[in-house]
Structure 1
Amino acid sequence: MSKGDYDALDVPRIKKRRLPSIGMSPESFGKASEAFARFMGTPQFLIGMTVFCFVWLAWNTLMPEPLQFDPRALNFTLLTLILSLQASYAAPLILLAENRSADRDRVEFENDRQRAERNLADTEYLTREVASLRIAMREMATRDFIRSELRNLLEEMEEAREADRRAEHREDLETVKKVAVKKAVKKAQATAEATAFKAARDAVQTPPENREDA
């Protein structure tokens, strides 16, 4: 083994494609197969296939032998080959279309299942909310209870207002008494001051002789 062979072992071997790749996406091929399988199940295809076979058989049976390309003597070998090829290609295409339809049905079933689960969850949530609302409605105050509470509140407010009025009246009486006392005190002080002033004035105006006699 030469040195070049040892060097070649260190290099990864690149696989070469022997068949050319067809640049067609699986989705496009699947759509084409579904369209072909759908067309094969139509009355137009059946009528066209019947007319084709009838013309083929009539031509190769009634026309002169030099013009026959698939003679009856060979049991219509070419027609048999064409129909066999058509059947051999039609079966896989139909299976492919059925597989795509099954996959699509599976996806739709999964979506329906998820939608049903969401609907069930929403229904359960709404049921719980309705139950909580019913419980809350039971605990709500009735109209008669609210009226009685308002009536009691008004009575308490009237009593508080009456108490405030009495307190204000009592404060007014005390204020009047204080003012009257202050006025009496001021009047007494003024009278005493006037009396003292008059006595002092009389004492000043009286002569000394009269004061000694007195």
Structure 2
Amino acid sequence: MAERARLDQPREVRRLFRPRPRRDPDPERFGRFAESTARFLGTARFIAWMTVFVVVWILWNVPYGPERDRWDAYPFIFLTLILSLQASYAAPLILLAQNRQEARDRVTQEQERDATAQANADMEFLAREVASLRLGLGEVATRDFIRGELRNLVSDLDERAESEGDKA
């Protein structure tokens, strides 16, 4: 008799054969990989290593290499396949890196545009403030003006004192 499932016990957990998703996927990870790859593909070191690789490949598979160990006889179809495969992966990685750089440049440009607009607004405000200060200073009595007025008052008082002294 087959064993019956008990209702008072939890079922056995069935294992799924799909990988569990990462807990903290980093959406920028592949972009950083593409940028570092594109950065490396644009260096003289990469060109030098690729040149060494191709020259060694060709020398190994032409009459200079061992006859029985040649795997890619003329016209180097396997080498062409490898280089085509490398190019087919390099091109999208380079394009992705360029798109990311373009997006960063666009954000930087927007920030610079905002900063320039803010600086222009600040300069216009300061220009208006300086103009209002100049207008305000036009109505303010200066030190020389006050001294002149005091001299005039002193001379008026002296004249009154002399005229009163002549009357008496």
* Global fold match (TM > 0.5): yes
Q: Return the offset for 1:52.
A: 0.2
Match of 2:68 among 66, 69, 75: 66
TM-score, normalisation: structure 1: 0.56
* Superposed counterparts of 1:103-142, under 5 Å: 103-142=103-142
Alignment correspondent of 1:47: 48
Alignment correspondent of 2:34: 33
Larger radius of gyration: 1
CA distance in 2, matches of 1:89, 1:25: 21
Letter in 1 for 2:118: R
* Superposed counterparts of 1:90-109, under 5 Å: 90-109=90-109
CA distance in 2, matches of 1:20, 1:48: 39
Alignment correspondent of 1:171: none
Q: Return the offset for 1:97.
A: 0.8
Q: Which has the higher contact order (CA 8 A, sep 6+)?
A: 2
CA distance in 2, matches of 1:124, 1:53: 63
CA distance in 1, matches of 2:98, 2:21: 25
Q: Return the offset for 1:60.
A: 1.2
**Percent identical:** 52
Letter in 2 for 1:49: M
CA distance in 1, matches of 2:72, 2:25: 36
Letter in 2 for 1:68: R
TM-score, normalisation: structure 2: 0.70
CA distance in 2, matches of 1:36, 1:21: 26
Q: Return the offset for 1:143.
A: 3.2
Alignment correspondent of 2:10: none
- Structure number having the greater helix percentage: 1
Letter in 2 for 1:129: E
Q: Return the offset for 1:20.
A: 8.6
Tell me the C-alpha RMSD between the 2 structures. Answer: 2.7
Alignment correspondent of 2:80: 80
Q: Does 1:89 align with 2:111?
A: no
Q: 1:83 to 1:24 in 2, by over 3 A?
A: farther
Q: Return the offset for 1:26.
A: 2.9
CA distance in 2, matches of 1:149, 1:109: 61
Alignment correspondent of 2:7: none
CA distance in 2, matches of 1:24, 1:137: 64
CA distance in 2, matches of 1:43, 1:30: 22
Q: Deviations over 1:140-172 (max 9, x none)?
A: 11335434369869x7xxxxxxxxxxxxxxxxx
CA distance in 1, matches of 2:44, 2:138: 69
Q: 1:145 to 1:71 in 2, by over 3 A?
A: closer
Q: Return the offset for 1:71.
A: 2.3
Q: 1:77 to 1:102 in 2, by over 3 A?
A: same
CA distance in 1, matches of 2:103, 2:47: 28
